[in-house]
Structure formats: C-alpha cells, structure tokens
Amino acid sequence: DYPGTLYEAIGGSATIHHLVEAFYARVAEHPDLYPIFPDDLTETARKQKQFLSQFLGGPAYYTEEHGHPMLRARHLPFEITPSRKDAWLACMSDALEEAEVEEPFRSAIFERLTHTAQHMMNTPEDRK
C-alpha cells in the first residue's frame, strides 16, 4: 500500500476506477469536449486510470506501460482552448462528487488537476 498518499486516502484503485468512469461519462456528453475525443473512450479511460494512480502517489502504471507522461506534448494534437479546459475541469469536479471523494482530499486533488489543466492549454479561444 501507499501510506500518506492521496491515492490511499481516497480509497485507492476502486475510487480511481469510479472517478474515471464518472468523468468520461460526462466528457462523452459535453458539447465542447466529445468532438475532440475518440467515440470509444475505453482505452482513454484505461490510460487515465493508470495516470491518476501515479499522479496521486499510487502505483506508476502509466509510466510502466507508456514511459514518461509528457502530458503537454501528448495533448498538442488537440486544440485545447480556455473553454475546453474549463469544461474538462467541470466534468472532473462533478465526477469527484459522484465518486464520493471526501474533503479535504477532493479540494487537494482538484487544485492539482486545475494546475495541470492550465498547463495543457495550447490554443486561444478565437481559433476554436
């Protein structure tokens, strides 16, 4: 186990599974987001579970399978505008609630994701 990590505090892999499923269910329905995602989100969700596991201090499944995340570079093929960043974070905020991630962990995770999401923007709004 992973004592003292957010991963363990929120309930480990079961909670990450619930969170990621709740998140992509929202992405699939969001008018600003679904056009840039694949129709089948199975593989995307699998990778996101691997990533969030290590992001929160748990097992490094993402790096084991895919190498260094290089998240900004991996997002460059997609036009990530400020409104898409806000949409992504809104889906994640709702998913954290649905997965019953408790405070203070919910806010701590959301703050870290907000920081990372800001780093992912690569396109100004008017080019959307």
Name the residue nearer to ligand HEM (CB basis): 68 or 103.
68
Residues of the shown chain interacting with ligand HEM in the complex, contacts defined by CB under 6 A: 36-38, 43-44, 47-48, 51, 55, 66, 71, 74-75, 78, 80, 84-85, 88, 113, 116-117, 120
Q: Minimum Å distance from CB 6 to ligand HEM?
A: 13
Alpha-carbon gap, residue 67 to 99, rounded angstroms: 28
b vs e for 20-47, b when ≥16 Cβ sit within 10 Å of the residue's Cβ? bbbbbebbeeeebbeeeeeeebeeebeb
Q: Minimum Å distance from CB 29 to ligand HEM?
A: 14
